[in-house]
Structure 1
């Protein structure tokens, strides 16, 4: 993965210059009830839709107002989905999804330590995340079950965010955490030096991962979703 540092510096300078010039056209964040201006109207960024707070929320959760599901909310669905996948792994559509996820892991490219991600594009970082999962030996069935769990909880949520992007980000965050960091140790005993680096799960990296995972599981959800949803914890 090579990086054109000169082009990146020039692009960074251009964006910084544009972001420092506030526009009066964007005087209000688009989230209902928010009185703050969009970032493009403050000289704090180029976002024409959201204020800084809601822009950050959107980057991390896939929605400017809906928060990610908490562990105690999603874990029962993950357990139910995992059990269903394992019980039906010989089914053609389940096997297809597992194979597609295995292909994502296998074709992700070389493993890249988390502290070497700086300068990579979001798509390259997404591939690096898949490579970390492969190196960690993550079972593709767990990844498939995670997507199904998100499908299930959104279906049961009376106040769900129905946009595909939210679903993609929710699943990608859970998958990303399965092998999110790089851990190094030099020496032994009390004089040992340790390094622990965890990439932040947010932004376009999650979108790339979520889109790939959705495509891997789309036939499974289309053809076996009705049976799966009957196993919902709620």
Structure 2
């Protein structure tokens, strides 16, 4: 019943057919890929691919800052930041639920004073690149994970430094960008930008303008 991974062309057994887990759909490599990227086979968009879309999205937001739907999206993201709870150091995330880790990510963004417009622009950029990609993965989960990965990188983790001279010590801890936490972040961002996308998607810059 669980003899093969569901990804076309993969001959590996699904994890449930081995001693490696209970996943009835994918083998270990494709399960890991799905966890990190939101698709078992489609890779994430790279930084170079995303850069012109992110720049175009931010420029569009700035040009339409008085638009009611733009203000609504920015305000709703700002609310996510303000209601995310106390800041949690990255090295204290172990043991927290995915939902609490997602809240901690929003709290890190708040602590880093990241402009809410950058997060709205991240979602719009994903909308735009998927629209322009003829081979895009168009499932909602992929879109959520791709946007979440962008904003997850805006809060760079926890960095500590103590001591002086030759005795100086540093600690750098970065939260893992994978799993259900990305789904929670992406879903919250999607809900915050829902009205903006619903009413202004046709007005977003085209590929030729990026």
TM-score range with shorter-chain normalisation? over 0.9
| CA shift for structure 1 position 231 | 6.7
Partner of 1:135: 111
Structure 1: stretches of 5+ with no match in the other structure = 1-24
Partner of 1:202: 178
CA deviations on 1:23-48 (whole Å, 9 max, x unpaired) are: xx211000000000000101101110
Of residues 57, 62, 74, the one that matches 2:50 is 74
| CA shift for structure 1 position 232 | 5.5
Structure 2: stretches of 5+ with no match in the other structure = none
1:178 aligns with 2:154: yes
2:193 is paired with a residue whose SS is helix
> TM-score, normalized by length of structure 1?
0.88
Q: What is the CA–CA distance in structure 1 between the aligned matches of 2:56 and 2:165, rounded to whole Å?
A: 42
Q: Which has the larger radius of gyration?
A: 1
Structure 1 residues 90 and 231: CA distance shift in structure 2, 3 A: farther
State the number of aligned residues: 210
Greater RCO, CA 8 A, separation 6+: 2
> What value does the CA root-mean-square deviation take over the aligned residues?
1.0
Q: What is the CA–CA distance in structure 2 between the aligned matches of 1:71 and 1:126, rounded to whole Å?
A: 22
| CA shift for structure 1 position 229 | 3.9
Alignment of 1:1-234 (within 5 A): 25-230=1-206, 233=209
Q: What is the CA–CA distance in structure 2 between the aligned matches of 1:180 and 1:39, rounded to whole Å?
A: 33
